Amino acid sequence: MHKKLSSFILILSLPLISSTNLPATEVGVAKIDITPTHPVVLAGYGGRTQEHEGVDTKIWARALAIGKENPVLLIAVDNCGVVKEWTHEVAKALKKKSKIDDRRLVICSTHTHNAPALPYYAKVLWGGRATKEQEVNQFKYAKWLVQRMVKVGLEALDNRRPAKLEWGMGDVKFGGNRRIMINKTWRGFGLQIDAPVDRSLPLLVAKDRHGKPFALWTNYACHCTTLGAVNRIAGDWAGFSNDAIEAHFPGTIALTTIGCGADIGPQPGGNAGHAKNHGNEIGREVKRLFQAKLKPISKNLKIQFKEVQLPFEKAPDKAHFEKLSAQGGFHGEHARRMLKIFEEKGELPKNLDYPITTWSFGDDLAIVFLAGEVVVDYAVRLKKELDWSRLWINAWADDVPSYIPSKRILNEGGYEADFSQIYYDRPAKYAPDTEEIIIKTVKDMLSEEFSPKPKLGPSPYHTHPGLDIKELQKPPVLSKERTKNLRTRIKNLIAKIKKNETDIHCQGFGRALDQAQNGFKKLTKNDGSVDNWFNYTGTKRFRPFIRQTQVGNTIEWETPIIKKSKDGQIYLLFVAGSGYLTQPQTEGFKLSINDKFHLNFDATNKPAEWKNKEDNLRMFFLPTWTSNDDSGGFYFLTFPENHLPSGKPAKIKVSSLGKGSLRWFSIDYYLDAVGIFDELRN
């Protein structure tokens, strides 16, 4: 948004409602359907190059106006990124039609990855790949979206009525830090339990003269990516959040914005059911907060705006980009764009103009609006150095110029610090003092009223609640139909094995089925991460996994105490999975028992047998869920009884033998694999 570079402060008075004798203002709210009516490419995933295939849920623009004489206006848009070029268009039109100044307008994107890609957002992502027809459709939708945002903003302004504002802060737990760090090196996306999050759910409620709510605004720090890369229109968890809140409070309009969640992912994810569950979790928490005692807002609203410059590190020289420009893909497109800037301006930009807005209601509540995909470290630090109990932070506000990494993430590297700058058409990484510039600016704007009060204590919202291992140790509750299908699959697989119609030879397999002991008790080491993926039932569950990204990545667990066998052979059963078969094949994985006896195997989605004659080890895999790439099922490991001291547990370790591949292996937490298998085979 083209706001003045100088700081700006505006104070809105809040008149009293005489019937209640409580501080109040005027509030208006509105929503409007922005579901595309023509084909358009969706933003968020570079692999989706075709226009959308259908609509799962409608998407919306929602507006909230606060104030009588000089109102502020928030527009929350179901889109991956509404950039400054389009917020400027909305601001111009609103100023012309309503006299509202652009400094009093904030446009927040929900960052759903299932909404149309707007021109100028993440320019390199579609640069050189979109067809002329796709570009025409993108501009057509963007111009129509601007009209719809202007319309909903005017409706909210027109709908203003006397209202009382109250607020509270809840706790929602489905967001997990997605940055996988192994040996202090970024390895990709998943769930990193020991990394920071922001579980806070601030809620602002507007009530009418009779105390009835008519507008509810919430904010949560998490990527809106639960649905995955399906090529269909949807609002993701933020859309379901609004639906759930409006269902709890009929006749209201809900707005959901996103906090500092650029490195936070929804857990679990992968389908609309999970997205709806996340939305319902927010809806329940809003209902709980509303039934508890909300805090009245009794002070005047002060608006502040500052635009700062975020420095880039020194960019590569022109020769570097000339060399890359001959390549295809994103790096080639980015290089050609950098060369064009060299040609037009003689040098690459050294800074990014970055807008920051705050709304503060006296010392009752401060609301911060930060542009871009802001990582959670900013919330953690601001809520440490300011009063977290009165602080609300939004990201994806006014512009989405790039990820905004912290100093820690810049040091660690990875997607949010490095490669995402290619997508966003930036010349280089941000400089390390980026974080300090943003933090200092926000503190300068708010610290007078919002310094921490004595004895406040730290914010309770910044650690992951962890995984309920006891729940993960239990088998999932399945429908009768799914159980029947699993039983049929196992019966058919066993029959094929006995007929030598698979890669498993029957020798020893029958005894493994009948004499198996449980082969997992507790996890002792994991060089990988924990992620949510399809298990032996075809449903999703969190479990630890490693990949073949580098030699030596290891996952290790302890078995229960090994019991003596009938025939001198030990048969252990554990539930596990493997996959990503389209990734390069390497030397695979090595399984070892007590670091002495070894067996090599690899990811597969078929019945398989591996053996090491020298160590007398054999392993059978019975897949009960498969896709083209992945599988889950039952692993039977057999070896001579004299390999282990009797009456003691064993240590089983699986390590990567290769590197440069995302092929994976995962162990489930189930303690009673034998019981699960026997239940299904009978």
Checking if the pLDDT of 16 tops 90, the result is no
Backbone angles phi, psi at 495, to 5 degrees: -65, -40
**Dihedral angle sign, alpha carbons of residues 375, 152, 30, 224:** negative
Closest C-alpha to 52, from 126, 121, 122, 115: 115
Backbone angles phi, psi at 286, to 5 degrees: -65, -45
Residue in the structure block whose two tokens are 């301006």: 345
Q: What is the residue-averaged pLDDT of the chain?
A: 93
- State the Cα–Cα distance between residues 276 and 240, nearest whole angstrom: 5
Helix (H) or strand (E) holding 382: helix 377-385
pLDDT band at 3 (very low <50, low <70, confident <90, very high): very low
pLDDT band at 10 (very low <50, low <70, confident <90, very high): low
- State the Cα–Cα distance between residues 356 and 306, nearest whole angstrom: 5
Both tokens of residue 219?
Answer: 């904010």
pLDDT digits (tens, 9 = 90+) for 399-418: 999 999 999 999 999 999 99
pLDDT digits (tens, 9 = 90+) for 234-249: 999 999 999 999 999 9
Average pLDDT over residues 653-665: 96
- State the Cα–Cα distance between residues 319 and 435, nearest whole angstrom: 30
Q: How many helices (H) and strands (E) does the chain have?
A: 15, 35
Residue in the structure block whose two tokens are 């060369």: 339
Per-residue confidence (pLDDT) for residue 9, from 0 to 100: 54
Please list the alpha-helical segments (H only) found in 499-641: 509-515
CB neighbour list of residue 679: distance below 8 Å, 6 or more residues apart = none
Q: Where are the beta strands (DSSP E) in 57-116?
A: 60-66, 72-77, 105-109
- State the Cα–Cα distance between residues 46 and 56, nearest whole angstrom: 20
Its pTM surpasses 0.75: yes
Both tokens of residue 655?
Answer: 């390590």
Per-residue confidence (pLDDT) for residue 533, from 0 to 100: 87
Helix (H) or strand (E) holding 353: strand 351-361
Helix (H) or strand (E) holding 273: helix 272-291
Task: Report the alpha-carbon angle 439-66-95, nearest 5.
Answer: 90
Average pLDDT over residues 342-351: 96
For the chain, percent of residues with pLDDT exceeding 70: 96
Radius of gyration in angstroms for the set of CA atoms belonging to the chain, rounded to a whole number: 28
Strands 529-534 and 540-547, how do they pair?
antiparallel
Give how far Cα 146 sits from Cα of 68, 99, 126, 157, Å.
25, 17, 21, 17
